[in-house]
Structure 1
Amino acid sequence: MKLLALVDFNLVARHGGFGKASRVTGRPKATLSRRVAELEASLELRLFERGARLLKLTEEGRALFERTSQLFTELDETTAAIASGGREPRGKLRISAPLLFSQTAMGKLAADFALKYPEVRLEVTTEDRPVDMIEEAYDLVIRVNPEPDESLVGRVFLRDRLVIVANPGLTPPMDGSSVPAVVRGQVRQDESWNVKTPTSQSKIAVNPVLSLSSLVMVRDAVRKGVGAGRLPVSLVSHDLADGTLVHWGDVDGPEITLWALYPSRRLLSARVSAFLDFLRDAFPKGTPDELAAYVGR
């Protein structure tokens, strides 16, 4: 497979036809047609459906275009960055971020990043599922306590911890009795929380009275006094400081780590590198207090 044939295929696919690609790029239409035909012959695949007035990518052609267009875009951006001394990141940056971080911090982060790097087209999607970065064309993902993945590398940029909190009017349970609780998602009826304080460790039996789909919703319900909640301390630190909520103890379990991950088999682009540096500058210590202060009320 010849590189020039792939380049010409991308030109035709991007512009939607041989004629338009020829007019925009100044390359002869016959050359573009010949190169694409050579590529189809070498792959033994039809990449375009050719009609009298319509040129349409086949399923195989679309897959090839999606995989190779980003590579050529990165090559163009790399050569442009080298030619300009690499001063300014530019181009599209696709990021996937978890729900809670997106609801509390990502809007402000994205706006500040866009103001600092106006040549970068930032696109952020929110989902808690483990996305396939290569198949779904993400440049960077933010994940909470991700499973080890040999195809990804990255860094921890924030740490948090879970705490048990409640409205001051809700009495902590005594003698093993259960406490009404607001939970995220589904919970077993025999669910219990392992709690530690500076002087003790214990279990709290919970009676889930509300099941909600986001931790922001859980916090708001806990504020109203309907039940206790298990929440990240960064999300409730302001409430604890002003007495809206009280601290019953820390959850006895692993700490929460937020990772910024990217594919190891691709060179780190200037856009991704700029965003990683931006996260480091926003949270230099990576503590829950920094996140709470950044988010504000």
Structure 2
Amino acid sequence: MDLLALADFNLVARYGGFGRAARATGRPKATLSRRVAELESSLELRLFERGARILKLTEEGRALYERTGTLLTELEQTAAVIASGGDRPRGRLRVSAPVFFSQTAMGKLAAGFALRYPEVRLEVTTEDRAVDMVEEGYDLVIRVNPDPDESLVGRIFLRDRLVVVASPGLARPADDIAVPAVVRGAGGQTTWKVTMPTGTSHIAVDPVLRLSSLLMVRDAVRAGLGAARLPVSLVSHHLAAGTLVHWGDVDAPEIALWTLYPSRRLLSARVSAFLDYLKQAFPMGTPDELAAYVGG
């Protein structure tokens, strides 16, 4: 396979058209078109659907782009590193992280990483949706309990768990009496199953306030509005200070934060450095470490 033709195909796929790729890279449009046509001929596959105003990847074209785009990028970066005489982290690093982790810890993490690696241009996007790493150009994503994905590899770097908490002034009612509750988002359960050293019980709940942020939920609970299910890392300081009380651990799977990256790419120095930095920040990956990091 002609690597030059493959590289030109990836340019056109990345920029969404021959003209756009030519303007962005300074490559002649006619050359890009000829190279892509030669690649299609050698593979005996149509890689683009060509319309009057639109150029769209075929299914085969998309598969080829997803499998070769990151590899070509890594080859370019490896050549640049060798030419510069070192393998220290440098260049742009794009990370997608969930909202709660970003609000509580990512600012401090990003600043510390940028100070340690000034040649890396870190860009962090905050969102809870499952981004397409290849299509959207992310080097690494952080996700909570992600669904299995054969195209990605990763590791757990933090664990947390949910607890039911309330202000000291709110007495826990009997199991058949609903307690006012502050919940995140729409819907939700009408009862919470919790475990205590004495056993398992159920708490009937009446949602009196719905909020989109766990930080807002915590603050509403501290104000005495109701009980809530919250990550223990977010409330451990308040439990220790007595400004919140613990009604039990939520009977649910643990919260696991994963770092994920494409499995077919060589791991760049930037990604490796960021993974190592997370490991240093949370060596044991416990909720107490996250609470201490956020509160420190």
TM-score (norm 2): 0.82
- Counterpart CA distance in 1 for 2:138 and 2:112 is 20
DSSP-derived class of the 1:4 partner: helix
DSSP-derived class of the 2:92 partner: strand
Structural RMSD (CA): 3.2
Sort the Cα spacing of 1:85 and 1:278 in 2 relative to 1 into closer, same or farther, 3 A.
farther
Which AA in structure 1 matches 2:113? F
Which AA in structure 2 matches 1:37? R
Q: What corresponds to 1:183 in structure 2? A: 183
Aligned length: 281
Residue 59 of structure 1: how far off its partner (Å): 5.2
- Counterpart CA distance in 2 for 1:88 and 1:259 is 24
- Counterpart CA distance in 2 for 1:122 and 1:48 is 36
1:98-145: CA deviations, max 9, x gaps? 110011011111111111111212111111122222222221111111
Q: Is the 8 A contact 1:5 1:36 kept in 2?
A: no
The correspondence of residues 214-253 of structure 1 with structure 2, limited to 5 A, is 214-253=213-252
Residue 273 of structure 1: how far off its partner (Å): 1.0
- Counterpart CA distance in 2 for 1:200 and 1:8 is 64
Query: Larger Rg: 1 or 2?
Result: 1
Residue 277 of structure 1: how far off its partner (Å): 0.7
- Counterpart CA distance in 2 for 1:134 and 1:260 is 15
Residue 218 of structure 1: how far off its partner (Å): 0.6
1:55-113: CA deviations, max 9, x gaps? x99556xx89x867755442222123234554311122111111100110111111111
Q: What corresponds to 2:135 in structure 1? A: 135
Using the aligned pairs only, state the percent identity: 65
Equivalent in 16, 23, 29 of residue 23 of structure 2: 16
Q: What corresponds to 1:37 in structure 2? A: 34
1:120-175: CA deviations, max 9, x gaps? 12111111122222222221111111122211111110011111111111111125
- Counterpart CA distance in 2 for 1:250 and 1:134 is 38
- Counterpart CA distance in 2 for 1:113 and 1:17 is 30
- Counterpart CA distance in 1 for 2:219 and 2:148 is 33
Which AA in structure 2 matches 1:277? D
- Counterpart CA distance in 2 for 1:17 and 1:95 is 24
Q: Is the 8 A contact 1:77 1:90 kept in 2?
A: no
DSSP-derived class of the 2:253 partner: coil
Q: Is the 8 A contact 1:187 1:208 kept in 2?
A: no
DSSP-derived class of the 1:265 partner: coil
Q: What corresponds to 1:114 in structure 2? A: 114
Which AA in structure 2 matches 1:282? A
Q: What corresponds to 1:286 in structure 2? A: 285
Sort the Cα spacing of 1:177 and 1:112 in 2 relative to 1 into closer, same or farther, 3 A.
same
- Counterpart CA distance in 1 for 2:132 and 2:222 is 37
- Counterpart CA distance in 1 for 2:31 and 2:187 is 62
Per mean C-alpha deviation after superposition, the further-off stretch among 68-77 and 224-233 is: 68-77
TM-score (norm 1): 0.82
Sort the Cα spacing of 1:264 and 1:7 in 2 relative to 1 into closer, same or farther, 3 A.
closer
Sort the Cα spacing of 1:289 and 1:69 in 2 relative to 1 into closer, same or farther, 3 A.
same
- Counterpart CA distance in 2 for 1:206 and 1:85 is 62
DSSP-derived class of the 1:186 partner: coil
Q: Does 1:272 align with 2:281?
A: no
Which structure 1 segments of 5+ residues have no match?
22-28, 50-55
Q: What corresponds to 2:169 in structure 1? A: 169
Q: What corresponds to 1:104 in structure 2? A: 104
Runs of 4+ in 1 over 3 A off after TM superposition: 5-15, 32-36, 38-49, 56-60, 66-73, 82-87
- Counterpart CA distance in 1 for 2:48 and 2:132 is 27
Q: Is the 8 A contact 1:158 1:257 kept in 2?
A: yes
